[in-house]
Amino acid sequence: MLQRISTAFVITLVMVAAGCGGGGPSPTSPSSPTPPSNPTTASSVVPQFAHVFLVVEENHSFRDVVGNPQMPYFNSLITAGGLATQYFANAHPSLPNYFVLTTGALITYDDNFQGTVSENNVVRALVTAGKSWKCYAESLPSAAYMGGDTGAYLRHHVPFVYFSDLQNDPAQAGNVVPFPQLASDLAGGSLPDYAFIVPDIYDDAHSCPGGAATCTDAQELSAADSWLQTNLSPLIKSPQFADSLMILTFDESETSDIQYGGGHIATVIVSSKAKPGYQSSTIYQHQSTLRLSLKALGITDLPGAAATAPDMGEFFK
């Protein structure tokens, strides 16, 4: 197992990356360079929201999805909301990106990491601020499941289960729930303040739909788009979403793209407070999404690199 990475990081510029499943060569001495300078100065004004939803897709580059006719629903959200055209993942493979989204630190380059993460994280920030949260994970065997991969569920796509905050507190662990709970919470008017939504590997463009042995990228992306439309459209159209923010992003690009560590990916802002059709040219990475997720709920405790990441206020009216 690779040694853990200091929280004093922002981007690894040059990496030889493994695929999402782990293995393969990885950097042995991760660097901690200064954030890239931005071509524009983004607004620091972030509106307040009642709910924040973060949805993470898998392993496809910006060019694969933006304008792709196999993803009409995803692209309709781009038209209605905002698109970060210069957004880059932080690393290959998957797990470090999930950790940046939730801790502001890479933690590890190893998808097979089995350690406990004690660094400051989104759960700690939310609980301290008195905010509710849930992770809705498709194919999770049961609520509070802290075990390994099973079926279409991959543990390293659910960063919360590594946190000491959950491992030492069954009540917090109980906030990691099977995906169908989202529909129940929506129907019951009990959506949490913060929600992290994880489709399983057949529905997030990670693997062939339905567990097929082979398929094309077009089939993976079409299946992911259908899942998004089926499961997100009722939420976005509901009255409870009127004062909400949804961020859709990808964990990483194709592994051949190592720009800024994890490659060029599509990230979309969905909200009635977003500027319709807005496209940003500011350079962002996952630490900015973590910053936005918390600032949108009025939280000032910003873990790791989120504390100094560029704000994403430019997307809002």
H helices of the chain, where? Answer: 62-65, 72-80, 94-103, 122-128, 164-167, 170-173, 181-187, 217-237, 286-295
- Condensed to tens digits (0 to 9), the pLDDT of residues 279-306 reads 999 999 999 999 999 999 999 999 999 9
Residue 30 has pLDDT above 50, yes or no: no
Q: Which residues of 180-213 are buried (b: 16+ CB within 10 A; e: fewer)?
A: ebbeebeeeeebbbbbbbbbbbbbbbbbebeeee
Which tokens go with 283? 């350079």
Q: Is residue 40 part of a domain?
A: no
11-17 long-range contacts (CB < 8 A, ≥24 apart) are 11/35, 11/36, 11/88, 11/90, 11/260, 11/261, 11/285, 12/90, 12/91, 12/106, 12/261, 13/260, 13/261, 14/258, 15/91, 15/92, 15/258, 15/261, 17/91, 17/92, 17/93, 17/255, 17/258, 17/262
Q: Which residues contact 55 (CB under 8 A, 6 or more apart)?
A: 197, 199, 228, 232, 246, 247, 248, 249
pLDDT tens digits for 65-75? 999 999 999 99
Tell me if 16 is assigned to some domain. no
> By the 8 A CB rule, do 71 and 59 touch?
no
In a domain, 283, yes or no: yes
For the residues 189-194, what does the mean pLDDT come to? 98
Res. 59: pLDDT tops 60: yes
Token digits for 194? 């913060």
Residue 177 lies in a domain: yes
Asked whether the predicted pLDDT for residue 100 surpasses 70, the reply is yes
Range of the structural domain that residue 277 is part of? 51-315
Tokens 């961020």, located at residue: 247
Instruction: Provide the pLDDT confidence category of residue 43 given band limits of 50, 70 and 90.
Output: low
Closest CA to 153 of 133, 175, 134, 135: 135
User: What pLDDT shows up at residue 31?
Assistant: 38
The whole-chain average pLDDT of the chain stands at: 90
Based on the structure, what is the number of domains in the chain? 1
205-235 confidence digits (pLDDT tens): 999 999 999 999 999 999 999 999 999 999 9
Rounded Cα distance between 120 and 187, Å, is 33
| 284, containing H or E segment | strand 278-284
For residue 280, the surrounding DSSP H or E stretch is strand 278-284
pLDDT of 292 reads: 98
For residue 90, being part of any structural domain is answered with yes
Give the model's pLDDT for residue 260. 97
* CA pair distance 284, 273, nearest whole angstrom: 20
Residues 6+ apart with CB under 8 A from 176: 134, 135, 137, 140, 143, 144, 145, 146, 158, 160, 161, 166
Residue 241 maps to a domain: yes
Residue 236 has pLDDT above 60, yes or no: yes
Q: What is the pLDDT of residue 8?
A: 37
How high is the pLDDT of residue 206? 97
CA distance 16 to 260: 12
153 DSSP 8-state letter: B
Closest CA to 297 of 57, 77, 53, 65: 53
33 domain residue, yes or no: no
As a whole number of Å, the CA-based R_g of the chain is 18
**Mean pLDDT score, 122-142:** 98
Query: For the residues 254-277, what does the mean pLDDT come to?
Result: 97
Has residue 29 been placed in a domain?
no
Q: Please give the C-alpha separations between residue 298 and each of 129, 175, 302, in angstroms, as whole numbers.
A: 9, 21, 11
CATH number of residue 299's parent domain: 3.40.720.10
Report percent pLDDT > 90 for the chain: 86
Across 136-164, average pLDDT: 98
